[in-house]
A and B are shown apart, each in its own frame.
Chain A
Amino acid sequence: MRLMLLLCVVFGFAAGAGAQSVTPSGTSSLTVVEPRAFGYFIGDKLERVFELRTGPGEELDLSSIPRPGPLNYWLELASSNVESEADGDGTLYKLTLVYQTFYAPLDPRKLTIPGFTLTIKNAQATREVQVRDFGFITSPIRQLFAAASQSSGSAVEVQPDAVAPRLVTGTERTALLISTATALLSLVGLAWHNAWWPFHKRPQRPFTDAARFIRSNAETLSGPRGYRAALLKLHRAFDLAAGRRVLADDVAQFLSEHPEFAPYGDEVRKLFASSRRAFFANEVEQARAQMPLPALAELSQHLSVAERRAA
């Protein structure tokens, strides 16, 4: 509490005016922090801060606080704001009044902001706290007489019009650049991950490569030669995935080394069986009947997905 009072006093000095402390009858006290009392021009604002402590059971009558609006032909109360907080067994009110002067002085002149009365109520009675006038010096901003060199019309010459500024677009441009870069990067990442163009030739995804080959050449692969070509492509894929040549007898070992393909084990064994028939027994037609091209395409698709999932 003492610190607060001290701060008020210090702030008052800093603002160029001492704090006025009034202790009227009763236990309430009023501290006023005034703005500087000189150096104002037309249109300037002045802020007066009042700290009112009321005793137990007392409260400030809010209707006694001045309302914003014109006070006379040159002075306006621009805003009036009150805050309250508990202070011991009483209440501390902080009232901030902002005045604006529209006086156009011809010479430095003392003007007065009129005082007013705050009403404090308790259960039995009301009493009043008088707030003093505040005087301040306001000065002209223009010379009184036009200089000899100036034209006679200079007394009514106004400052030029304000130029309407262009909109600032920096934020949007930055957001656009960053989001475009992020979108492109994530697109490249997806293309890499799914081995889309231009990453479709990556050796690390042999089954994806084989699946794409079979899917996109379905027409040309429909004959017996094509069927062999499709089988060869899948064999190469197995070889690349294992890092060595995989024959029918190695399938079990391959599947144990690459468990991601295990769910398709039966299909893979069927593929190797068909392949053996086609290449070693020269029974391409029977092989095609056993595992037709669409089944090859489907298997290669499954293996491609499994391969990507394990990546």
Chain B
Amino acid sequence: MRIPLAGQLPSVGVLKSAALWVVLVASCAVMISAGALFASKLKTNAAIDQLRAGKNIVIDPATASPALLDARAAFLLKRGRIEEAQPLLDQAPLRADDAIQMRMLYNMANARMRAAVREIEKGNFDKAIPMVSLAKSEYRSALRLDPGNWDAKYNLDVSMRLVRDLPQAVPEDEEKPLETPEKLWTDLPGTPKGLP
């Protein structure tokens, strides 16, 4: 093929070569960035797998990825280490999406509920009540982020029956607080523990 303006216009061969170089450089750039992202995600997944398997992987809350915060918080809260998990929950609103924040709040509230039930069994109601109240507020925050989460609804219901919300100093409600047909349970169900 001959181009009439050969010499003035770049020839077909030069254009072909230039196009191939452009494609090569662009695809190499995509390859490097996708590869780096892929590798970092695989690394995170490996850490998540280890945390799930019960291995104590320590992370830095300030720099860890949200998925890792989630997994580490789940690991700690499953073991009742609430104080250690709190810094992770403080980081979540800064970086994590709603699903991760919701899960972390839900797991934290569950850990508080389990701790509260342990205190109740020991008879320490004064310690248990603030724990349940915190759990309730965390279940509510979780439901604000995901109103359709049935586990959070169920557990909020459990915690509400444990320590009831009551109208606070609203004059017209003083006369008749939302009446229940009968007194069905006490605020804190004590577990009867008689002799065998």
Contact = CB atoms under 8 A, between A and B. Distances in A.
Contacts of A156: 113, 117, 120, 158, 162, 189
A289 interface: no
A116 B25 CA distance: 63
A49 B14 CA distance: 64
Nearest to A157: B158
B8 interface: no
Given A43-B143, A156-B120, A193-B16, 10 more contacts: A74-B165, A142-B158, A144-B184, A156-B189, A158-B154, A172-B34, A172-B35, A175-B34, A182-B27, A311-B13
A162 B157 contact: no
Given A161-B77, A190-B21, A167 B151 contact: no
B9 to A, nearest CB: 12
B189 A155 contact: yes
16 contacts: A43-B147, A73-B168, A102-B165, A141-B154, A153-B191, A162-B106, A163-B52, A164-B71, A164-B100, A166-B45, A166-B49, A167-B45, A173-B38, A176-B35, A179-B28, A193-B13
Nearest to A194: B17
Which 5 pairs from chain A and chain B are nearest by CB? A104-B160, A172-B38, A175-B34, A43-B143, A182-B27
B23 to A, nearest CB: 4
Nearest to A45: B147
B59 interface: no
Interface residues of B, number: 76
A172 B191 CA distance: 53
A169 interface: yes
B24 interface: yes
Given A78-B144, A140-B157, A176-B38, A164 B45 contact: no
A159 B74 contact: no
A43 B152 contact: yes
Given A100-B143, A173-B38, A106 B184 contact: yes
A244 interface: no
Most buried by B among A155, A156, A309: A156
A3 interface: no
Contacts of B41: 167, 169, 172
Contact of A193 (B17, B114, B158, B185): B17
B152 to A, nearest CB: 7
Interface residues of A, number: 56
* Chain B interface, DSSP helix/strand/loop, else mixed: helix
Contact of A161 (B11, B110, B184): B110
A180 B191 CA distance: 64
A190 B24 contact: yes
Contacts of B111: 161
B68 to A, nearest CB: 9
B62 interface: no
A102 B156 contact: yes
A193 B20 contact: yes
Contact of B103 (A152, A153, A162): A162
Of A78, A259, A311, most B-chain CB atoms within 10 Å = A311
Contact of A179 (B21, B30, B151): B30
Contacts of B77: 161
B110 A158 contact: yes
Interface in B105-128: 106-107, 110-111, 113-114, 117, 120
B67 A164 contact: yes
A180 B31 contact: yes
B121 to A, nearest CB: 9
B196 interface: no
A183 interface: yes
B112 to A, nearest CB: 10
A44 interface: yes
B192 A152 contact: yes
